[in-house]
């Protein structure tokens, strides 16, 4: 085994120093690289100190939306005004139609020539109390005792000497009462003895009422 001599140890030490120096020389930055690094650091410092630019947000779309909303509101108000105007026109037309219907009804309910003759005779006559009371009471008793499906109400019964006026109405709160009940009433009345004394008669009726004008004279 060969022992290390002092000379060989010295040579090895010098070789190690030389290798270390070469490594640091190779890895150390050149002056130009150092300057570049310094400029890069300065540039980054400047950038970090510059204020950040704030992007301005446009409000134009919002304004357009608000404008569209306002236009929509105006359109809605305009539509409401049109609807209100149409409703008024329909109400006016309905009022005209109602007035026309009432006029026709008045014409239809106007007394005929024969009815007018009986009305004039009724107005001219004086009251025969005995006969008038007996006839009026007979009708009242008939309504009480007659086996009617629905009994109407006697509103008025007025007799003079030979002419009588009777008015009957359908009972309140009874939707089933109609012209059939008036027909039933008439069919049973004509069979009554007190009713058979009348020689002429005229009547007007609806589902709600019946008006009779009768005379014992031909």
Assess contact for 185 and 210: CB atoms under 8 A: yes
- Which of 87, 110, 133 corresponds to the end of one domain? 110
pTM of the predicted structure, to 2 decimals: 0.50
Portion of the chain with pLDDT greater than 90, in percent: 45
Q: Which domain holds residue 99?
A: 78-110
Is 162 found in the same domain as 105? no
Domain assignment present for 67: no
Is 126 found in the same domain as 201? yes
Q: Measure Cα distances from 1 to 4, 8, 119, 122 in Å.
A: 10, 15, 170, 173
Count of domains for the chain: 2
Is 119 found in the same domain as 104? no
Is 181 found in the same domain as 99? no
Domain assignment present for 172: yes
10 Å Cβ neighbour count for 205?
Answer: 15
Is 192 found in the same domain as 126? yes
Predicted confidence band of residue 39 (pLDDT cuts 50, 70, 90): low
**Residue 173 pLDDT:** 84
**Residue 175 pLDDT:** 87
Give the strands of the sheet with 153-159, arranged side by side.
153-159, 163-169, 209-215, 200-205
Domain assignment present for 13: no
**Residue 82 pLDDT:** 86
Is 206 found in the same domain as 183? yes
Q: Which range in 34-48, 87-101, 103-117, 133-147 is most confidently predicted, on average pLDDT?
A: 133-147
Domain assignment present for 3: no
Predicted confidence band of residue 59 (pLDDT cuts 50, 70, 90): very low
CATH number at residue 142: 3.30.980
Stronger pLDDT, 44 or 160, i.e. the higher one: 160
Assess contact for 155 and 169: CB atoms under 8 A: yes
Cα–Cα dist 83/77, whole Å: 10
Q: What dihedral angle (degrees, nearest 10) is formed by the CA atoms of 23, 24, 27, 30?
A: -130
Domain assignment present for 156: yes
pLDDT of residue 118 exceeding 90: yes
Is 156 found in the same domain as 98? no
Is 211 found in the same domain as 117? yes
Q: What are phi and psi of 154, to 5 degrees?
A: -85, 115
Domain assignment present for 90: yes
pLDDT digits (tens, 9 = 90+) for 76-85: 777 888 888 8
- Which of 110, 128, 163 corresponds to the end of one domain? 110
Is 121 found in the same domain as 102? no
Stronger pLDDT, 46 or 140, i.e. the higher one: 140
- Which of 110, 131, 159 corresponds to the end of one domain? 110
Is 181 found in the same domain as 121? yes
Residue keyed to tokens 């069979």: 191
Predicted confidence band of residue 68 (pLDDT cuts 50, 70, 90): low
Is 171 found in the same domain as 131? yes
pLDDT of residue 10 exceeding 60: yes
> What is the average pLDDT score of the chain?
78
Domain assignment present for 210: yes
Domain assignment present for 27: no
pLDDT digits (tens, 9 = 90+) for 144-162: 999 999 999 999 999 999 9
Is 120 found in the same domain as 106? no
Cα–Cα dist 152/171, whole Å: 5
């Amino acid at each position: 085994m060969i022992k290390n001599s002092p000379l060989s140890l010295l040579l090895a030490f010098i070789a190690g120093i030389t290798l270390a120096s070469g490594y640091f020389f190779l890895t150390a930055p050149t002056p130009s690289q150092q300057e570049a690094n310094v400029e890069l650091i300065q540039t980054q410092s400047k950038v970090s100190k510059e204020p950040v630019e704030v992007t301005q947000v446009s409000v134009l779309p919002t304004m357009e939306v608000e404008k569209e909303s306002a236009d929509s509101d105006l359109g809605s108000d305009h539509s409401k005004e049109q609807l209100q105007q149409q409703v008024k026109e329909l109400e006016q037309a309905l009022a005209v139609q109602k007035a026309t219907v009432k006029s026709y009804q008045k014409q239809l309910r106007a007394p005929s020539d024969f009815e007018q003759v009986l009305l004039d005779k009724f107005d001219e006559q004086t009251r025969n109390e005995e006969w008038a009371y007996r006839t009026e009471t007979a009708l009242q008793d008939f309504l009480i005792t007659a086996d009617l499906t629905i009994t109407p109400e006697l509103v008025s019964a007025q007799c003079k000497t030979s002419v009588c006026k009777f008015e009957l109405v359908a009972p309140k709160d009874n939707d089933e009462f109609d012209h059939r009940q008036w027909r039933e009433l008439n069919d049973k009345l004509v069979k009554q003895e007190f009713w058979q004394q009348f020689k002429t008669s005229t009547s007007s009726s609806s589902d709600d009422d019946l008006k009779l004008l009768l005379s014992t004279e031909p």
